[in-house]
Homo-oligomer: A and B are copies of this chain.
Amino acid sequence: MKRITLLATLMLAVASVVAQQNIGMVDVATVSPCVVDNDVEFLLDAPNAGQVLLRADWMQAPVPMTRRESDNKWYYKSENLAPGLYTYTYNVDGTTIIDPSSIYSMRDVGQLFTYFIISGDYADNYMIQDIPHGTVSQQWYDSSAMGYARRLTIYTPAGYETGNRSYPVLYLLHGMGGDETAWNELGRASVILDNLIAAGKAEPMIVVMPNGNVAQQAAPGSSPRGLVAVNFHEPRTCNGEYESAFGEIIDFVDTHYRTHRDAAHRAIAGLSMGGYHSYYISANMPTMFRYVGLFSPAINARASHPIYSDMDAKLVTLLDNGLSLYWIAIGKDDFLYDEVSQLRAHLTAMQFPFTYRESTLGHQWSNWRLYLTEFLPLLFKK
């Protein structure tokens, strides 16, 4: 009864005092998205809008929502969605907004999206389960190459803090416009790792997610730059600087964490620009990694730099040092498909062994989450 009194007191406070914070709640009059099994209803209260579009990552083009007779709200229903994590926005008379009825949003480059999950199948790996969880840390290292501190996201598996053993390390790199937060937020990396490790499908490992934009110290809003607009193409990107200095990140991790410090226990993988980085870094550090993953990678050098030269000879050296896995994945509709096809043809002609995974869809996070889920079980098995 006392608890009810407190609640009543605070509720009165909500109603009466505008300046009282910590008491905000979404207006529950509009529930959206409403997920029931594989069907999802979307609802938006925008009484004066002339047109509302739903733009969603499971549809090729935005679809118009319709005004529902019963309550004058904008409505759309997607049926029989396959398991997965999905994102969407509304466009109201030309202005893009996230769903005002949901608090679950993600930032991708310079835009927010509302997200939800359809459970089942591989998407259960994207859901937080009642299993042991690893730790996710935002940590800064001093980059002597760049002359300033830079931020990393680091995942340590459940049991890391209480044990003494050392772990293998995966370096997991984001794409253009991304940053050190992308793989864990958009990519659900720590959730996927927790699930695969708990199920015995992946080896317990440390995962390091650095910031691949040399000009950034950290993600937008998390650095001394302040609350700046997001720059899709940061200066000093894909010019060899980041790849050349990657050794200092490995040094930092090896001196601050209990790692196995040999190539058999190191992997590097990345999406898009992160695939580009992984391709060149692994070839230029041929004794550092035995596992390489290129997810929807850009391949062709975007600048002139020694790190991008003599790649054939470097790849041969990488192979001669005992590569265990060279894994390439891309979607059929990806705009980098042809670039990757050329790489595959070239590697085949060189007799360079690799595993190829072709998926549906294009250059998008639904593929990158899937690739990570498939790639992790292949690591550190030897």
Partner of A45, one of B94, B130, B139: B94
| Residue A79 at the chain B interface, CB threshold 8 Å | no
For this chain, the copies found in one complex come to 2
The answer to whether A57 and B256 touch (CB under 8 A), given A100-B96, A226-B128, is no
Determine whether the beta carbon of B104 is less than 8 Å from that of A27: no
Contact residues, A22-46 vs B (CB, 8 A): 22-28, 30, 44-46
Determine whether the beta carbon of A103 is less than 8 Å from that of B220: yes
Contact residues, A196-247 vs B (CB, 8 A): 217-218, 220-224, 226-227, 229-230, 232-233, 237-239
| Residue A250 at the chain B interface, CB threshold 8 Å | no
A286-294, A347-355, A358-366, A374-382 - interface stretch: A358-366
**Chain A interface size range:** 35 or more
The answer to whether A46 and B93 touch (CB under 8 A), given A22-B176, A364-B20, is yes
In the bound complex, residues from chain B placing their C-beta under 8 Å from that of A115 are 227
Q: How far is the CB of A350 from chain B (nearest CB, A)?
A: 24
| Residue A6 at the chain B interface, CB threshold 8 Å | yes
Determine whether the beta carbon of B24 is less than 8 Å from that of A109: yes
Determine whether the beta carbon of A148 is less than 8 Å from that of B130: yes
Q: How far is the CB of A240 from chain B (nearest CB, A)?
A: 11
Determine whether the beta carbon of B227 is less than 8 Å from that of A116: yes
Could you tell me which A residues sit within 8 Å of B by CB distance? 2-3, 5-7, 9-10, 13, 17-28, 30, 44-50, 55, 57, 59-62, 87, 92-98, 100, 102-105, 107-113, 115-117, 127-130, 132-133, 135-140, 148-149, 151, 158, 161-162, 175-178, 217-218, 220-224, 226-227, 229-230, 232-233, 237-239, 256, 271-272, 298, 301-304, 333-335, 361-365
| A-B contact list, 18 entries, CB within 8 Å | A2-B302, A6-B298, A7-B233, A13-B335, A19-B60, A20-B362, A21-B57, A21-B365, A22-B175, A23-B109, A24-B110, A24-B113, A46-B92, A103-B112, A105-B105, A128-B224, A129-B224, A130-B148
